[in-house]
Structure 1
Amino acid sequence: MMDCRLGCGACCIAPSISSPIPGMPNGKPAGERCIQLNNENLCRLFGKPERPKVCLQFKPCPVICGSTTQQALANITELEHLT
């Protein structure tokens, strides 16, 4: 386990999310920024009850997140393509 890198946002950009997100009732396609991601790449829903379950369940780890935002984007994008 690891802590999220503040300002990374890769998990809010790279994967598709099929569940509704406030402002995105049909979820979001892979590679599209979540509407809830602010200009500093921080989630506006973090800690709020309306945050989607899939987002709550994501746990950052070195294998997925790597050591940079670019690595996280590449790793999550690859996983998205494989699933």
Structure 2
Amino acid sequence: MQCRLGCGACCIAPSISSPIPGMPDGKPAGVRCVQLDDENLCRLFGQSSRPAVCSGFKAEATICGETDQQAMATLIELENLTV
């Protein structure tokens, strides 16, 4: 499965504990990553400064569902289960 361009759910819903350029302490769950542009595309995609956790995320139908809203809901649920 390929990521849906402009979804951004994986860059908003989960917490990220590793530093992100512009967010040295990572980001809390539900907070938009500062590296998302106005079209929900990652400014760090393909760059070495992109956190490993972000580079390691792979789109999967069970996580991303069929819509951006389904992806957000699933990732929020998974985040809540891990706190």
TM-score tier by shorter-chain length is: over 0.9
Number of residues of Structure 1 aligned to a counterpart in Structure 2: 82
Structure 1 residues not aligned, in runs of 5+: none
Match of 1:68 in 2: 67
Q: Deviations over 1:19-48 (max 9, x none)?
A: 000000000000000000000000000000
Match of 1:82 in 2: 81
RMSD in angstroms over aligned alpha carbons? Answer: 0.3
Structure 2 residues not aligned, in runs of 5+: none
Q: Are 2:14 and 1:15 aligned?
A: yes
Matched residues in 1 for 2:55 and 2:45: separation?
A: 9
TM-score by length of 1: 0.98
Specify the SS of the correspondent of 1:7.
Answer: coil
Match of 2:42 in 1: 43
Matched residues in 2 for 1:14 and 1:73: separation?
A: 6
Q: What amino acid maps onto 2:49 in structure 1?
A: E
Runs of 4+ in 1 over 2 A off after TM superposition: none
Matched residues in 1 for 2:46 and 2:55: separation?
A: 9
Q: What amino acid maps onto 2:45 in structure 1?
A: F
Identity across the alignment (%): 72
